[in-house]
Amino acid sequence: MRKARPLCLRGVPRQRKPNRAALYTAPAYLALLLRVGANVRRLREAQDLTQEELAFRSTDMGPAMLRTIEAGRVNVTALSMSRLAEGLGVDPAELLAPAAPPVKRKRGRPKKEP
């Protein structure tokens, strides 16, 4: 399992309350973030949408926010989940369904085919 990094705002690590810091590294919490991210990516790719298109459909969510959600690196609020579900045209419960881990892809742009 990957090691959790603190959330950042403009390059400054976010300070957590000392009594809650361990909650953000709990395996169940990290698994849930990865599950939501994998489901968002799976549903987005099934509809052949880019991250930018889904971000726009999701009540103008920022593409950077969508990327961090798909990567499982940010806490997803109920509001963000409802916006994503609306943009994807699915029930919000589908974002919490068990999902296979996302397939690792090569970094960079895919090569254009002639």
Per-residue pLDDT band at 10 (split at 50, 70, 90): low
Q: What HEC string does 15-61 produce?
A: CCCCCCHHHHHCHHHHHHHHHHHHHHHHHHHHCCCCHHHHHHHCCCC
Position 94 scores a pLDDT of: 95
Give the domain 25-95 fold.
434 Repressor (Amino-terminal Domain) (1.10.260)
The pLDDT tens digits for 47-73 are: 999 999 999 999 889 999 999 999 999
Q: What percentage of the chain exceeds 90 in pLDDT?
A: 58
Q: What is the pTM of this model?
A: 0.75
Position 51 scores a pLDDT of: 94
